[in-house]
Amino acid sequence: MIVCSCNLLTEADIRSALRQPNGPDCACEVYAALGCSQDCGGCAGSIACMVEEARLANLCAVAPAAKKAA
């Protein structure tokens, strides 16, 4: 599914960028990681939500490991 029609970024493109080590922490970094920049901004909210989802998923993935180490 196309999320950013200006840059033809798909949901898969964005999620792939977010899975990279030291991946993007905000929408503007997502554009940069995918070799483009924000144009109309219509997708920025959707991309920001995907960034937040990835951040929360990473926290949930790290939390059990942290508990075992304690």
Residue 13 or 23: which CB sits closer to ligand FES? 13
| Size of interface with ligand FES, in residues (CB under 6 A) | 10
> CB-based burial of residue 15 (10 Å sphere; 0-12 exposed, 13-18 middle, 19+ buried)?
middle
Question: Encoding tokens for residue 11?
Answer: 């949901």
Identify the residue whose tokens are 């950013």: 4
Shortest distance, CB of residue 31 to ligand FES, whole angstroms?
8
Calpha distance 47→9 (Å, rounded): 10
Q: Would you say 8 or 59 has its CB closer to ligand FES?
A: 8
Cβ proximity to ligand FES, 25 vs 39, nearer residue: 39
Applying CB under 6 A, the residues found at the interface with ligand FES are 4-7, 38-43
